[in-house]
Structure formats: C-alpha cells, structure tokens
C-alpha cells in the first residue's frame, strides 16, 4: 500500500489502487477528443455508404441484433474482412462501422460489419457467442456471397478487439464443427485480453464478470487454440494498462510456441480512439497491415 492525502489506499490490482485502476480502464480519461472521434465513426460511415451504396443486410442468427452489413467487392471469390466494433461492450453498432469499408472493397475484399446484442441486454459470454456465430455463418455461406471461405479475416477495436480475440482463440471444431483454421488472420486493436482487471474495476458494475467468465472469456488464457497470424496494435497515447494488455497478449502467444506469427505494433502519437481510423485508409497503419495480412494490394 501507499500513502496518499494522509490515508492508506489499498492496491486492488498490480500497483493500482481502485481510483487509478478505474482510470486505467476509462479511455476517455486519456483522450480529450474522445467524443468527437466516436461521433466521427458514424459520420465517416455515412460518407462511405453514400459512395458505395447501402450494404446488403444478412441475418446470421435468430436474434434481433444478429445481423451484419455486407459491402461487396466486385472481385469474384473475394476474401472477407469481418469488423467487430468497440463501444465498451454496450454502445455503437454496425452502422457506425462502415468507415473502414471503402478501401477494402476497392482492394478486392468484402467487408462485413457485425451487429450483436450489447450489455446489459445479454451477458458477455452470449456476445462472444454471437460474434463467433457470425463468422461461422459467413464461412458456411461464403459461396453464395461470392466469397472465399478459406480467406476470412477478423479485425476488432477496443471491446471489439476483445471479442475478436475471443473468437480467434475459440475451439471452432468443438463449438461449430468447423475447421480449426476457420479464421485466417486477425488485427486486434486497443483491446483487453485478460478480463481480471476489468472484473476489479468500475466497469464491472455493468459487465458483471465473475471468476468463471474471466477464465472462459479471456483470450490470453486460450492462446493454445490460436491458428492464425495476429497483429496486436495499440496507440502510443493509450493508458498504461491497455499497452500492457497488448504486450502481454503478444508475449503469451510467443511463449506458448503457437505456430503462428504475432506482430505487436504501436501507433505513434495516437490515442485509443484515433488509431482505429487508420484501418480505414490504405496508407494508414492498420489499413496497410490488414491488406498485407490478406495478401491484397491497395485498390
């Protein structure tokens, strides 16, 4: 413990007392422009829809939220980039996620923006299941969509990076009777990969994690199932904990000797809400890395 303002504050996780741990997991405390950037996702997505046209809407399950927006490339048998949005597991949606679609479509890839039920309407394990179900649906229906089921890639930001991480570390054979290598590559940006500090933070007032869920839903604890290369990215101006989460996830993959490549990338000068915008540019950090991972060139 340490002395602060005349009284002792107990450490609740690593060297953090409760107030500092809560601040570490509140990214708005680290980005003065957070609200403007979040609103910008919606504005930029509307601009992309004006250029590309409205996407196809497909239901991947029976739930009201279990739909995806598909922006098609004109290239036959194209790969699919599946985007999993952030929003602290309780905000945003597929209509806010089209901002990155244009350059993938023009480079020869379909772009699928997912919707899924949010907290508090479902528990986190159901949300993870929905994201996996959407990927499984795309795999099974790829031919009808003019897509190559052997080239499905996933990108996620913030809480969406956690969900993407949970998907790529899932057991596809046991859960969906699909190949172990269903996903061929992933870009996880600014995510949480060990949920234990979230359970101990103020966020757990609405995430409602228990120890069982932390164990089951933390990607870092299931890297043995990983079967695809992964880019793990974060912004230079993110909180120390989000940087540590990225570094520890990459180190766990390397330590486990998983036979896939992992690349840890820092976005210079970028905060939590800025770095994902680079996915929407063919010359942006994440846009370049995702295209390279998919074996595509700038369209």
* pLDDT attached to residue 47: 98
* pLDDT attached to residue 298: 77
* pLDDT attached to residue 258: 66
Distance CA 247, CA 226 (A): 17
Cβ atoms 60, 66 nearer than 8 A: yes
* pLDDT attached to residue 37: 97
CATH number of 34-294: 3.40.50.1820
Coil, helix or strand for 53?
coil
Coil, helix or strand for 274?
coil
State the pairing for strand pair 56-59/7-9: unpaired
- pLDDT digit string (tens) for 164-179? 999 999 999 999 999 9
| DSSP letter for each residue of 54-111 | PPEEEESSSSTT-EEEEEPPSSTTEEEEEEE--STTTS--GGG-GGGHHHHHHTT-EE
Which residue ranges make up each domain of the chain? 34-294
**Taking Cα atoms as reference points, which of 74, 45, 71 lies closest to residue 57?**
71
How would you label 106-139 residue by residue, b for 16+ Cβ within 10 Å and e otherwise? bbbbbbbbbbbbbbeebbbeebbbbbbbbbbbbb
What's the angle, vertex CA 34, arms to CA 25 and CA 236, rounded to 5?
65
Cβ atoms 279, 161 nearer than 8 A: no
Q: What is the pLDDT along the chain (299 residues), one digit of tens a residue?
A: 344 443 558 999 999 999 999 999 999 999 999 999 999 999 999 999 999 999 999 999 999 999 999 999 999 999 999 999 999 999 999 999 999 999 999 999 999 999 999 999 999 999 999 999 999 999 999 999 999 999 999 999 999 999 999 999 999 999 999 999 999 999 999 999 999 999 999 999 999 999 999 999 999 999 999 999 999 999 999 999 999 999 999 999 999 876 779 999 999 999 999 999 999 998 899 999 999 999 998 76
Local structure of residue 30 (DSSP, 8 states): G
* pLDDT attached to residue 6: 39
* pLDDT attached to residue 8: 59
Cβ atoms 134, 223 nearer than 8 A: no
Q: Residue 9 burial (CB < 10 Å; 0-12/13-18/19+)?
A: middle
Distance CA 262, CA 231 (A): 6
**Taking Cα atoms as reference points, which of 103, 285, 254 lies closest to residue 189?**
285
* Peptide bond before residue 217 is cis, with ω within 30 degrees of 0: no
**Taking Cα atoms as reference points, which of 212, 209, 187 lies closest to residue 200?**
209
What's the angle, vertex CA 268, arms to CA 265 and CA 271, rounded to 5?
95
């Amino acid at each position: 413990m340490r002395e602060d303002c005349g009284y002792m504050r107990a450490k609740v996780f690593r060297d953090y007392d409760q107030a500092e741990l809560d601040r570490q997991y509140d990214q708005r405390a680290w980005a003065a422009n957070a609200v403007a950037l979040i609103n910008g996702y919606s504005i930029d997505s509307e601009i992309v829809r004006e250029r590309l046209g409205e996407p196809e809407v497909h239901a991947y399950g029976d739930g009201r939220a279990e739909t995806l927006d598909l922006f098609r490339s004109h290239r036959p048998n194209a790969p699919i980039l599946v985007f999993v949005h952030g929003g602290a597991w309780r905000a945003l949606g597929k209509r806010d996620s089209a901002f990155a679609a244009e350059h993938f479509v023009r480079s020869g890839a379909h772009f699928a923006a997912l919707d899924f039920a949010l907290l508090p309407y479902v528990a986190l394990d159901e949300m993870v299941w929905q994201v996996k179900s959407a990927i499984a649906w795309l795999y099974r229906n790829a031919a009808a969509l003019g897509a190559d089921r052997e080239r499905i890639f996933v990108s996620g930001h913030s809480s969406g990076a956690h969900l993407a991480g949970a998907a790529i570390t899932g057991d596809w054979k046991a859960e969906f009777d699909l190949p172990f290598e269903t996903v061929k590559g992933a870009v996880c940006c600014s995510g949480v990969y060990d949920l234990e500090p979230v359970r101990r933070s103020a966020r757990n007032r609405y995430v409602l994690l228990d120890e069982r869920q932390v164990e089951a839903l933390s990607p870092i604890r299931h890297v043995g199932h990983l079967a695809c290369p992964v880019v793990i990215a974060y912004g230079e101006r993110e909180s120390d904990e989000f940087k540590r989460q990225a570094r520890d996830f990459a180190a766990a993959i390397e330590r486990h000797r998983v036979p896939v490549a992992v690349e840890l990338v820092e976005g210079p000068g970028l905060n939590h809400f800025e770095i994902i915008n680079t996915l929407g540019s063919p010359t942006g950090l994440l846009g370049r890395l995702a295209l390279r991972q998919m074996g595509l060139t700038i369209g």
